[in-house]
């Protein structure tokens, strides 16, 4: 398999991994609605960075690190569950937009946009949530075993595969943020409140599931 073919195959895998709508997808959608495309992209880049980090661990054979992460599987699931539960409850308790007629989140006729600090916080939170799932190492180890040519596995092949997965993941998040951003200005306050409730309950539910996995 050529380098280009390997990269494109890995990108397709990254796209397939990112596309299913789970807690991170719900979080990305909500952050895009409330904070604009910068916030949504920050979430996406955080997820892709976490996947790339675990991918490198699996690809480069950093056994000690992967064993450490898997040894602390339960505490990490507990941390992720508590964080998701916190995000869900905070979303449910957040007040409705002040300007009900326009669905604005700042009450002055303009939709809120997060600044650089807010984007960094969104990036850090999504990266943290991604890194608290050590099972990703196992997934990527299986991926590299499948994609890498037999007898020809090297650091360059590993980096090509990780880069492809990262690009495929980012492509999905860019698409999702673009679609949500285009619909964002047409969503009224009532629908936005309903979306907040759905996202809040979903995040809290995923949090409870993660906590149960840790017990």
pTM reported for the whole predicted model: 0.76
Cα–Cα–Cα angle for 38, 43, 47, rounded to 5 degrees:
145
Helix (H) / strand (E) element for 215: namely none
Residue corresponding to tokens 């991918």: 55
Q: Would you state the pLDDT for residue 165?
A: 84
How many whole angstroms separate alpha carbon 88 and alpha carbon 76?
Answer: 18
For residues 37 and 118, is the Cβ–Cβ distance under 8 A? no
Alpha-carbon gap, residue 63 to 61, rounded angstroms: 5
Instruction: For the beta carbon of residue 149, count every other beta carbon within 10 angstroms.
Output: 11
Let me know how long the chain is: 215
Residues of the chain with pLDDT under 70: 1, 61-66, 69-70, 95-114, 134, 143-154
């Amino acid at each position: 398999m050529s380098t280009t073919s390997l990269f494109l195959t890995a990108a397709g895998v990254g796209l397939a991994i990112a596309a299913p709508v789970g807690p991170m997808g719900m979080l990305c959608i909500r952050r895009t609605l409330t904070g604009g495309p910068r916030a949504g992209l920050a979430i996406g880049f955080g997820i892709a960075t976490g996947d790339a980090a675990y991918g490198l661990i699996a690809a480069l054979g950093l056994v000690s690190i992967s064993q450490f992460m898997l040894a602390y599987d339960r505490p990490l699931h507990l941390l992720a569950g508590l964080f998701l539960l916190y995000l869900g409850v905070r979303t449910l308790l957040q007040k409705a937009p002040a300007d009900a007629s326009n669905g604005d989140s700042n009450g002055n006729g303009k939709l809120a946009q997060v600044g650089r600090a807010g984007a960094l916080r969104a990036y850090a939170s999504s990266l943290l949530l991604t890194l608290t799932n050590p099972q990703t190492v196992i997934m990527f180890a299986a991926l590299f075993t499948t994609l890498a040519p037999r007898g020809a596995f090297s650091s360059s092949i590993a980096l090509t595969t990780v880069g492809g997965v990262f690009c495929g993941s980012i492509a999905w998040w860019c698409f999702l943020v673009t679609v949500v951003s285009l619909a964002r200005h047409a969503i009224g306050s009532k629908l936005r409140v309903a979306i907040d409730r759905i996202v809040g309950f979903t995040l809290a539910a995923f949090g409870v599931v993660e906590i149960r996995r840790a017990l």
